[in-house]
Amino acid sequence: MKLLEGKVAVVTGAARGIGKAIALKFASEGASVAFTDLNIDDNAKATEQEIAAFGVKAKGYASNAANFEDTAKVVAEIVKDFGRIDILVNNAGITRDGLMLRMSEQQWDMVINVNLKSAFNFIHAVAPVMVKQRGGSIINMSSVVGVSGNAGQCNYSASKAGMIGLAKSIAKELGPRGVRANAIAPGFIITEMTNALPDEVKEGWYKQIPLRRGGTPEDVAGVATFLASDLSAYVSGQVIHCCGAMNC
């Protein structure tokens, strides 16, 4: 039997990158997948088809995850279409890097709203469903910089640190109802965004990583699958670093 057979997963910001890898991995393990992105464009529709190719139900939803009312409506649609929600992955995120002295209020607010408030919005909407089911797994995508900080990323680091505190708090609040909450802290992951960096910059990163390579979205998806499955039935309130020992 597959690890996630019969489960329904919601993955935010999953049209590409790490979110897409998680959605595809979940589908390969038998989960039906509802995913969100700001727009369901041709790329998102292609992702929907890739997920469905595993023989599971798949549907993409246009959603501004940072908007409370919009999120509530989307979650209601997902419950209507899929019947239940067993797994929530709060993956939606952006960067607007800059040094504190030069950072605008807009840069700060945008990153906090998309990265952190969106997780609050989805947990707020999904929690009643999981509580009623007496079970569920919530996974917040944090980052190693949410633990260690990073110059030029105070907004991003703060949002990712918030994802850890949010997961730990929800684990304590909803644990008595059978709902688990954990966070994943990826390190340097090779995506479209990081591939655009100059080779010398990437090589500099690799030298800081004991495993001497960048991670892949599939590496992160493997950790997410563990946390989504019953293999981690007694794991809650934890932060799992997926960083090649970069931040240990």
pLDDT in tens, 75-93: 999 999 999 999 999 999 9
Cα-Cα-Cα-Cα dihedral sign, residues 103, 105, 107, 109: positive
For the segment 156-211, what is each residue's pLDDT rounded down to a tens digit?
999 999 999 999 999 999 999 999 999 999 999 998 767 777 788 778 888 889 99
Give residue 92's identity as a one-letter amino acid code: A
**What do you get for the CA distance between the two ends of the chain, in Å?**
34
Q: How confident is the model at residue 218, as a pLDDT?
A: 98
Distant-in-sequence, close-in-space partners of 88: CB < 8 Å, separation ≥ 6: 9, 10, 122, 123, 126, 130, 136, 137, 138, 139
Whether the pLDDT of residue 70 is over 80: the answer is yes
Res 203: pLDDT: 82
Beta-carbon contacts of 171 under 8 Å, excluding residues fewer than 6 positions away, are 180, 181, 182, 236, 237
- Give the position of tokens 């409506």: 73
**Helix count (H) and strand count (E) of the chain?**
10, 7
* pLDDT attached to residue 88: 98
pTM for this one?
Answer: 0.96
- Apex CA 117: angle with CA 157 and CA 185, to 5°? 40
Considering the chain, what percentage of its residues have pLDDT values greater than 90?
A: 87
pLDDT greater than 80 at residue 248 = no
What pLDDT does residue 4 have? 98
Radius of gyration from C-alpha coordinates of the chain: 17
Three-class SS string for 143-203? CCHHHHCCCCEHHHHHHHHHHHHHHHHHHHHHHHHCEEEEEEEECCECCHHHHCCCHHHHH
Question: Is residue 234 predicted with pLDDT exceeding 90?
Answer: yes
Mean pLDDT of the chain: 95
Residue 41 makes CB contacts below 8 A (sequence gap 6+) with: 15
- Spatial distance between the Cα atoms of 19 and 114, rounded to a whole number of angstroms: 15
Q: What angle do CA 130, 53, 78 make, to 5 degrees?
A: 30
At 205 the pLDDT is 80
Q: How confident is the model at residue 34 (pLDDT cuts 50, 70, 90)?
A: very high
Instruction: Indicate which residues carry an active-site annotation.
Output: 156
Q: Taking residues 5-34, what's their average pLDDT?
A: 97
Distance, CA of 73 to CA of 120 (rounded, Å): 15
The domain limits of the chain are 8-238
Average pLDDT over residues 197-226: 90
| Chain centre to alpha carbon of residue 69 | 20
At residue 25, the pLDDT reads 98
Q: What is the pLDDT of residue 247?
A: 78
**Residue 246: is its pLDDT beyond 90?**
no
CATH class of 8-238: alpha beta
Is the CB of residue 122 less than 8 Å from the CB of residue 12?
yes
Residue 12 CA to residue 178 CA, distance in Å, equals 22
